[in-house]
Structure 1
Amino acid sequence: MAKESGRKVVAQNRKARHDFHIEDTFEAGLVLTGTEVKSLRAGRASLTDGFADFDDGEMWLLGVHIPEYTQGTWTNHTVRRKRKLLLHRSEIDKIERRVSERGLTVIPLSLYFLDGRAKVEIALARGKKSYDKRHAIAERDQNRQAQQEVGRRIKGLR
């Protein structure tokens, strides 16, 4: 069997970019059981309620939903268990220091396979206020209208 290559995205947290200001991103490995890997290869996972936390100098991913593998037996995994993140010690220390001093949180942005290994992209993020969200939506609408107007002028309409 040929070794996998490239990047295959399993799940993305699209709501994260709407609800948070992303400060910095990191790529981390995941410690998974066999049935979790098989379920992910089937393309099933949800990152919407996920976050990362520190425990005893280690970083853990919590709240991520990986459904049970349908062909699994009694060895199947629990759906929302704690999963250990694999990062270098310096990265863990840097993230923990920034979270404790600045009031940031760590959220997962995407879950994917990179050359056959399960990876998660995590981000240091600060929560947006509701007026920030409205401002971002208004700005996006203005940019879209400006692009449409430029397109109309180029085509000779109006």
Structure 2
Amino acid sequence: MEGKKILADNRKARFNYMVLDSLECGIALQGTEVKSMRAGKFSFTDAYARIRNGELWLVGFHITPYEFGNIFNHEPVRERRLLAHKDEIKRLQRKVDEKGLTLVPLKFYLKGGIVKLELGVCQGKKLHDKRQSIKERDDKRAADREFKQRL
């Protein structure tokens, strides 16, 4: 990951959803939002993306106001436009409409000083799928522990 600084990773989304595809998008941010994001003062637990009028929008994304900002500080929760090519947006629109998939933010990172977002095309997991994920994770931990003890 040369030139990338990961700001946040949505591990809960990978537990609750099966990620079928992903896409790198830019985010249209205001001035103080970038500073707050660099400081790690944002939350995207309930965030998702929506396609409206051929544009990609991020909904439910909270960026804490910049503490050294002035009266021109940004609104904490607002819909933010995601920057992607029209062909990619159309492809995502078809997937979401046909199969009932969800667009979930998976990772936020800086790439060349610009805030980027990895958007996942996800399908919700059923309860037994989540149990299977927990079992696989526990088995991997046990195997790693056993391997470490043998060394």
- Same fold flag (TM > 0.5): yes
TM-score normalised by length of structure 2: 0.92
- 1:90 is paired with a residue of what secondary structure? helix
Q: Which runs of 5+ in 2 are unaligned?
A: none
Q: Which residue of 1 aligns with 2:18?
A: 21
Identity percentage over the alignment?
Answer: 45
CA contact (8 A) 1:11 1:47 kept: no
1:80 aligns with 2:77: yes
Question: Match of 2:62, SS?
Answer: coil
Residues 38 and 150 from structure 1, CA distance in 2 versus in 1: closer, same or farther, beyond 3 angstroms? closer
* Partner of residue 50 from structure 2, selected from 20, 40, 53: 53
Normalising by structure 1, we get a TM-score of: 0.88
Alignment of 1:84-95 (within 5 A): 84-95=81-92
Q: Which residue of 2 aligns with 1:119?
A: 116
Matched, 1:33 2:27: no
Q: State the partner residue of 1:138.
A: 135
Contact 1:99–1:105 (8 Å) recurs in 2:
yes
* Residue 135 of structure 1: how far off its partner (Å): 1.3
- Alignment length (residue pairs): 150
What does residue 10 of structure 1 align with? 7
Separation in structure 1 between the aligned mates of residue 68 and residue 148 of structure 2, nearest angstrom: 52
Specify the structure having the higher radius of gyration (Cα). Answer: 1
Specify the code of the residue in structure 2 equivalent to 1:145: A
Report the structure, 1 or 2, having the larger strand content: 2
Residue 56 of structure 1: how far off its partner (Å): 0.6
CA distance in 1, matches of 2:114, 2:140: 39
Q: CA RMSD in A?
A: 1.6
SS of residue paired to 2:7: strand
- Tell me the SS of whatever aligns to 1:70: coil
Residue 101 (str. 1) matches residue 98 (str. 2)? yes
Runs of 4+ deviating beyond 4 Å: none
Residue type of the partner of 1:140? R
The answer for unaligned runs of 5 or more in structure 1 is: none
